[in-house]
A and B are shown apart, each in its own frame.
Chain A
Amino acid sequence: MSLAVLRFTGGLCIAAGVFFSFAAVVAILRFPDVYTRLHGSSKALSGGAVLILLGALPYTGTAAGAMKLVLIGAFFLVSNPMASHAIARAARKREKEENGQ
């Protein structure tokens, strides 16, 4: 288990992350309404960003840098679902209001 193997795995992770992020963009452009778009984008973007950060881990070189990446990943895992939840709720509320009028 050398650094080269770790870096190769990291590269695979980054490639997978790029694929998921690309899928998120396709979802935003192609899905018909707010909810399906959120469904596609939030999951794929969380996964994509965290995978890219994981893949960058072997390339940092310092423990402090690796720690920062882990913290950024944790921030993504907390904030991204939260934001999607808030957007979905706001969309639902607005839909109700427009149907009520």
Chain B
Amino acid sequence: MNVSLLAVLYLFIAVTALVAVLLEDLLSAFITLSFTGVLMATVFALLRAPDVALTQAIINSGLVTSLLLVAYSQTRKIPHPPEVCDECPSWLQVKVPAFVCSVLGLLLFRGLYSLAGERSLPEASVHYLARTLEETGALNVVGALLLDYRAFDTLGETTVIFASVSGVSILLSGGRRVHSGHGLSYIVKRGMALLTPFILLYAASILFLGHLTPGGGFQGGSVFATVAILMCVVYGTGFEASRISSKSKETLEAGGAILFVLVGLLGIAWGAGFLSNLPAPFSAGTPGSLLSAGSMPLLNIAVGLKVGAGLSSIFYAMIKILELEDE
């Protein structure tokens, strides 16, 4: 492993990313970003992760750049809002994001070098590396993991892509056929009011007991999102928007993501690796109690926030696009 070659690549990645941020012209920024992607693919290949390198090269440098170009051709450039001072240099206008990015970069920098060194593999990885050929007959360990050991998971992932593609194609088909402005009849509204507390209780129990019973953040968050979606359908989108504003949904979603990453970074700060649970300062607690299993309850809450707020705002945005105006 050539560490100095890696260092040069890291430097170029940082430079191209900075250039992409500072460039005024969006088209040039996209090209620079795709160059960053190619450099990262090279780094992955050097770090003996050719599968990730392939995905990185195809998705980031090819697909994402072309998607960005399509988005660029569909949008217009609007001038700066007047409250932003034009005299300030551009790096001063983004003080807080620049600070957060620098701190994150410093935190992750050490990890980059430990990746290149000799590591002791977790027990599961040792098993897969030693036994894959014998158990599956495949030479590509990553392929064997995806299509043999966890083929069921892979089916789920492709189904998620299928679902999102059908959603987007319904939106882009252009038909408007939904009356959702004023909701359903009195009976349904009353009945929904009767059921809502129970659905919320059920969602909370799935979410908060995720480390003790079946379920967890994803499932609980989806049930929470169901409440918001039912409110959209039963009481009308206007009522839902007035009770749970899109702004607060965005805040909750971002808060969930930030909480998850913070828990992960705490592991790095403790010197135990990203998202490490018990080696980081989380206590195992009494088995079976609400505060046990270390960071898992926190991560469940983070995932629940992300999924609940995310799914409900996706549904709201989609139904708003499809909605017919009320007469």
**CB within 8 Å of B: which residues of A?**
75, 78-79, 82, 85-86, 89-90
A-B pair count, CB < 8 Å, reads 20
* A85 CA / B191 CA spacing, docked (Å): 11
Q: How far is the CB of A35 from chain B (nearest CB, A)?
A: 16
* A57 CA / B192 CA spacing, docked (Å): 27
Q: Do the beta carbons of A75 and B195 come within 8 Å of each other?
A: yes
Q: Do the beta carbons of B195 and A85 come within 8 Å of each other?
A: no
Q: Do the beta carbons of A85 and B194 come within 8 Å of each other?
A: no
Given contacts A78-B191, A86-B188, list 9 more A-B pairs with CB under 8 A: A75-B198, A78-B195, A79-B191, A82-B187, A82-B192, A85-B188, A89-B184, A89-B185, A90-B184
Chain B residues near A75 (CB-CB < 8 A) = 195, 198
The chain A residue with its CB closest to the CB of B192 is A82
Would you call the interface of chain A mostly helix, strand, loop, or mixed?
A: helix
* A45 CA / B199 CA spacing, docked (Å): 21
The chain B residue with its CB closest to the CB of A97 is B179
* A75 CA / B188 CA spacing, docked (Å): 14
Chain A residues near B198 (CB-CB < 8 A) = 75
* A86 CA / B179 CA spacing, docked (Å): 13
List 4 tightest A-B contacts by C-beta distance, closest first. A82-B191, A86-B188, A86-B184, A82-B188
17 residue pairs A–B, Cβ–Cβ below 8 Å: A75-B195, A75-B198, A78-B194, A78-B195, A79-B191, A82-B187, A82-B188, A82-B191, A82-B192, A85-B185, A85-B187, A85-B188, A86-B184, A86-B185, A86-B188, A89-B184, A90-B184
